[in-house]
Structure 1
Amino acid sequence: MKQETVDPKQDFMDALDELEKDRGINKEIIIDTIEQALLTAYKKNFGSAQNVRVEVDREDGEVRVFSQRRVVDESDLYDTFLEIELADARKIDPSYELGDIIENEVTPKEFGRIAAQTAKQVVVQRIREAEREIVYNEFIEKETEIVTGEIARATSKTVYVNVGKIEASMPESEQIPGEEYKAGQNIKVYILEVKKTNKGPQIVVSRSHPGLVKRLFEKQVEEIYQGIVQIKSVSREAGSRTKIAVQSLDERIDPIGACVGTKGSRVRAVVDELGGEKIDIINYSEDPAEFISASLSPSKVVRVDVNEEEKTALVVVPDYQLSLAIGKSGQNARLAAKLTNWKIDIKSESQIKEEMELKANEEDIEETLVEDIESTSEVAEVEDIDLGTEVDLDSDIEE
């Protein structure tokens, strides 16, 4: 029985066809890259001083090397390796003209082995680059989204999370303070940044970013996903407390109620995912005073005085609500300022009363001082007039 011979060149071309079909790697681009790599390999191994061109046959995969010489006038001939006189060129083919390129095949017998090794290296490299490009394109579209990943390992500073075909990093600054990360644990992470590097795409993920809270609510609250309820702003101190401002585009739907859910089911799911982080949900308002007042929830507010030009606000609260409005270590006030993007000064009613009384007393004192000064001035004027009159009288008597 006659055994079929296997043509390695044809197998190689078939493999390129498969790569183009299965991985979307353009066959022509690979072949062009192989030709450039073979040109470099030829010059390195054979030290040719000639101009050469390497060609890979698109049908059978045969590799050929051609020397190249430019047709020049006899007076312009400088290098016989690179140039040929017009007269000599026309001995080969009468149709040659000045500037034409004459090619001769100079493929070395042992070049096949080098060609095979080079081609393999190029293909492996192109496959690697293509896979990196695919991963990059996949995740660049997911930037600012959340994905579920599995923790690969955790060091003292960085947590590494497998998110599909790539390992993402979560630096210490993007971790929730106090949260434990163990290998094999599944967690939801926010894709903060996708960068293209020479070593492939690098993905940075976060658990502390405010965007994580926003995306979690989008997944839990259908009205947010549909665009009926909008999250206008988020302020967060990861692991402790978050405030979100929401607004409904449909008067029939309560935005806070939609986010809380039946018996608190929706907000509880978000809280559980964040390890018990407290979440305040407030109504957004275009009126700065209303928005600032709501942002200080759960405290009650007596009044809000706003300075639109300086974007500052004075908030007055009942005495017994002052500590609640400010919050532990100033957290509630701090989050409210971030949420509204206003500078907020919080004072109790008694503090405002004392300031007003002090101001009134200062005004009374100032008014009294002005009156005393004016009175003293009047007396001085009168005394000056009387003194002058006496001098004039004495002068008349003497005369």
Structure 2
Amino acid sequence: MNLEFINALKDIEKEKGISSEVLLQAIEHALLTAYRKNFGSTQNARIEILRETGEIKVFSRKTVVSEVTDPRLEISVEQAREIDPDAKEGDVVDEEVTPQEFGRIAAQAAKQVVVQQIREAERGLIYEEFLSREGDIVTGVVRRQETKNVYIDLGRAEALLAPAEQIPTERYNRGDRIKTYVTEVKKTTKGPQILVSRTHPGLLKRLFELEVPEIFEGIVELKAVAREPGLRSKIAVYSKDENVDSIGACVGPKGIRVQAIVNELRGEKIDIIKWDSDIKVFIANALSPAKVVSVEIEEGEKIARVVVPDNQLSLAIGKEGQNARLAARLTGWKIDIRSESQQIASSEEGKEEDPSCLE
């Protein structure tokens, strides 16, 4: 090993982002293993690579004694003082014992270990990089599909999009460029495993944060998200600045902002509603596009009883109950929806059954 070797490690540091010092320490460890294997494992040795020149030195660590009984582990006071003039009995000194043929043996024995250490260091860097991106969006290219799992190339790593995290209406073709939400990063023996999702509500939230400057800057706050992935979503937004329209900011000029998100989610419809601290108003807003006549709430059970015009009932409930379900998830309240005529009929039945109403 020489100066060219040191320079090569610095090139690896620049290209792969792995510290040359980490590599040198790994190589020293590998060389120590090779030395013990080839020159005796009973010696208490250490390996040092000179950082300036790349020269390898092998040192045998020996205890200073008055009478040597094991020359592999002990050294006399006189010999020790040739290495260190201040050495005294009981000290430990390093005696250089570098074999002449060690360079060839070391290079041969350490190669595989060094490659493995480089690989492990790269895995560690990738793990740390993506661990910090949990709860964030990553963009990648679909590489392959195996047993319904989709594998996405993120550049330095590969992510797994499991069947449960795939939008049922989507098809993922090799070469497709898609955005996914990082749900978890795990350490495994084969390197970091990055789990991503296309169905997580966080994906929709982060897409709006990326697309709407007012949300990113904190002027508009995204209060809640409810999704039926691939079909329809609702988000509740609130503006901290009365001069900024929260819904208008999310929609964007000519709908360009929300349309970009709809396109990314391949046609998923998105309702943007105004959040309100008054739960009655918030629930009424959440049932948009239906108009609401009244909202009565039961605080203890978190049930909201909503009345809508007769011609708005099917709109409020939505296809197969979708609008009502999303509104319930968005607000966190159970929602019971009735038309005006149903409410009147229910009230009249209640009066007939109540003895106090009889003459």
Closer/same/farther in 2, CA of residues 161 and 101 from structure 1, 3 Å limit: same
Report the alpha carbon displacement of residue 229 of structure 1 after superposing the two structures with TM.
2.4
Tell me, yes or no, if structure 1 residue 41 matches structure 2 residue 29: no
Aligned length in residues = 356
Q: Among 250, 257, 260, which residue is 2:251 paired with?
A: 260
Closer/same/farther in 2, CA of residues 78 and 338 from structure 1, 3 Å limit: farther
- Residue 63 of structure 1 contacts residue 115 of structure 1 at CA under 8 Å; is this kept in 2? no
Which residues in structure 2 correspond to 1:94-109 (within 5 Å)? Answer: 96-109=87-100
Q: For 1:30, give the aligned amino acid.
A: L
Who is 1:289 aligned against?
Answer: 280
Which residues in structure 2 correspond to 1:1-399 (within 5 Å)? Answer: 8-20=1-13, 23-72=16-65, 81-83=72-74, 88-90=76-78, 93=81, 96-364=87-355
Deviates more, 1:131-140 or 1:325-334: 131-140
Closer/same/farther in 2, CA of residues 12 and 260 from structure 1, 3 Å limit: closer
Who is 1:390 aligned against?
Answer: none
Secondary structure, aligned partner of 1:289 = helix
For structure 1, the residue ranges without an aligned partner over 5 or more in a row are 1-7, 369-399
**CA separation in 1, counterparts of 2:308 and 2:100?**
93
Secondary structure, aligned partner of 2:276 = coil
Secondary structure, aligned partner of 1:245 = strand
Report the alpha carbon displacement of residue 214 of structure 1 after superposing the two structures with TM.
2.4
**CA separation in 1, counterparts of 2:10 and 2:268?**
54
Closer/same/farther in 2, CA of residues 361 and 244 from structure 1, 3 Å limit: same
Q: Structure 1: which 4+ aligned runs deviate by more than 4 Å?
A: 20-24, 77-81, 365-368
- Residue 34 of structure 2 contacts residue 110 of structure 2 at CA under 8 Å; is this kept in 1? no
TM-score (norm 2): 0.86
Q: For 1:89, give the aligned amino acid.
A: V
Cα RMSD (Å) of the superposition?
Answer: 3.0
- Residue 148 of structure 1 contacts residue 163 of structure 1 at CA under 8 Å; is this kept in 2? yes
Structure with greater contact order relative to length (CA < 8 Å, sep ≥ 6):
2
TM-score (norm 1): 0.78
Report the alpha carbon displacement of residue 24 of structure 1 after superposing the two structures with TM.
4.8
Report the alpha carbon displacement of residue 51 of structure 1 after superposing the two structures with TM.
2.0
**CA separation in 2, counterparts of 1:364 and 1:92?**
111
Secondary structure, aligned partner of 2:283 = helix
Deviates more, 1:123-132 or 1:293-302: 123-132
Deviates more, 1:276-285 or 1:315-324: 315-324
Report the alpha carbon displacement of residue 231 of structure 1 after superposing the two structures with TM.
1.7
Q: For 1:41, give the aligned amino acid.
A: A
Q: For 1:67, give the aligned amino acid.
A: S
Who is 1:384 aligned against?
Answer: none
Deviates more, 1:284-293 or 1:45-54: 45-54
Q: For 1:223, give the aligned amino acid.
A: E
- Residue 34 of structure 1 contacts residue 118 of structure 1 at CA under 8 Å; is this kept in 2? no
Report the alpha carbon displacement of residue 268 of structure 1 after superposing the two structures with TM.
2.7
Q: Give the helix-richer structure, 1 or 2.
A: 1
For structure 2, the residue ranges without an aligned partner over 5 or more in a row are none
